[in-house]
Amino acid sequence: MEFTTITKTRLRYFRSKLYGILRLFEEDNQNLTATLSSFLVDLEGSSYYVNDEDKALYLTIVSVVSGLLDYSIEANYESILDSIRREIFGCRNIIDKLIEQGDYDEWVRIV
C-alpha cells in the first residue's frame, strides 16, 4: 500500500500543531523541545508525499520548524518571542496556500 500525496486533512493538522507549539513557547513549557522534535520528524516524513511543485514551500516549513527547535534549546528565547510568532504565522500562511492551491485530496488515495 503506497500513499501518493499528502492530504488536506494532514496539512490542517500541521497548521493546528503549529498553533499548539506557539502556545508552548508562550507558556515556556518543559515539553517544548520534545514536541518540536516529534513534529519535525512528522513533517520530514510527510515531505515525500508533497507534490513536486509544492516541495519548496513545504521544505520552507520544515526549515522553520528546525529553526524553532534550535530556539527551544536556548535558555532565553523570550527576547525573540515576537520573531517566533512571525515565523509560526508565516508557516501557517504557507500551509493555507498549499491547501488552497495544491492538488490534494481530502482523504488519502491508495495505489
Is the CB of residue 85 less than 8 Å from the CB of residue 40?
no
Q: Which residues contact 57 (CB under 8 A, 6 or more apart)?
A: 94, 97, 98
> What is the pTM assigned to this prediction?
0.85
Q: What is the pLDDT of residue 74?
A: 80
| 1 has pLDDT over 50 | no
